Amino acid sequence: MDDSWDTHRMNERWKMVSSDSAYMSSTEDGQTPTAITYPYNEELTHKTILVGDSGVGKTSLLVQFDQGKFIAGSFTSTVGIGFTNKVVDVDNLKVKLQIWDTAGQERFRSVTHAYYRDAQALLLLYDITSKPSFDNIRAWLTEIHEHAQKDVVIMLLGNKSDMAAERVVKTEDGEKLAKVMRDIFKWLCSPQQRRVFTLLMFFPSQEYGVPFMETSAKTGVNVDLAFQAIGKELKHRATQQPNEPKFQIHDYIESQKHKTGCCGP
Ligand SMILES: Nc1nc2c(ncn2[C@@H]2O[C@H](COP(=O)(O)OP(=O)(O)OP(=O)(O)O)[C@@H](O)[C@H]2O)c(=O)[nH]1
């Protein structure tokens, strides 16, 4: 793996950049600091990873985002892992995403695990026409918990929203799962583990879950929005000051979904 993906080194680099370029403005007497600004470093590359069962549409989603096209026809499973570099425009700044497309097939699991470690964001996909791919989200969460960073940004995507006639997973079920996913993630860290899962499904905490939307790699619905939201979140994380309010990714997605007339096919 490329050295630049060593998170520690990346953090060190960021610390250096931020401390070099951070500044304080002060009042005329030079005593009271009024603001600290951490400019965003456009040289940073943020690693994002696509995971989910084989056939849910990870490669197609990435091709749609990268090239704006959908290749219909025979399905060729990804072998191992590959990546695409893409720049998203966030608040007039260039945010570089390196998006890793993993193979969903079980036999490649040990290869793909190694790539979770440095991921700052993770898009977890299921296929709305496949109940098993939805049921497996819990298993994927366990994998993520074991191999990814604890503060990784997770987004749940129900793909193939254009296939309304074949839908077997309701939008509400996706929303419900996304709501408890953060709880599940915390629960995975707790010693009580197994007993709690059912309770969580019925009594989610008041906390926001992970962001969720339905996408179509075929029509492009919500594809750009998913990556744009990730870019915004990662940019805000990189520049956030201790007392600054957090970027509300849920609110952002909700406001954009309405604009794009979300959730239709
Ligand atoms: N109608 C429709 N078909 C889709 C969509 N996304 C993917 N497909 C089809 O689903 C099949 C699997 O898509 P892939 O993108 O290869 O799936 P994958 O998740 O990358 O699969 P692995 O590489 O095995 O992990 C292909 O035949 C795609 O054309 C979608 O949004 N709508």
Residue 162 CB–ligand 1 contact under 6 Å: yes
Signed CA dihedral, 216, 222, 224, 227: sign only? negative
pLDDT score recorded for residue 7:
33
Nearest CA to ligand 1 atom 7: 57
Residue 262: per-residue pLDDT:
45
Cβ of 64 below 6 Å from ligand 1 = no
Query: Among residues 174, 175, 183, 184, which one has the least CA distance to residue 143?
Result: 184
* Residue 56 CB less than 6 A away from ligand 1: yes
User: For position 191, what pLDDT does the model report?
Assistant: 52
- Give the per-residue pLDDT at 190: 57
- Look up residue 259 and give its two tokens: 């604009």
Q: What pLDDT is attached to residue 25? A: 35
pLDDT of residue 173: 93
Ligand 1 atom with the smallest distance to the CA of 219 is 31
Token digits of residue 107: 């036999």
Write down the pLDDT at residue 248. 87
Rg (CA), the chain: 19
pLDDT at 200: 54
Chain-centre distance for alpha carbon 182: 13
Q: Which of 71, 86, 79, 175 is nearest to 126 (CA)?
A: 175
Residue ranges of the chain with per-residue pLDDT less than 70 = 1-38, 182-183, 185-208, 258-265
Task: Provide, for the chain, the percentages of residues in helix, strand and coil under a 3-state DSSP scheme, each rounded to the nearest 5.
Answer: 45, 20, 35
| Ligand 1 atom showing the smallest separation from residue 160 Cα | 31
Q: What is the pLDDT of residue 189?
A: 56
∠ Cα 22 252 247 (to 5°): 30
Closest atom, ligand 1, to C-alpha of 217: 31
Global pTM value: 0.80
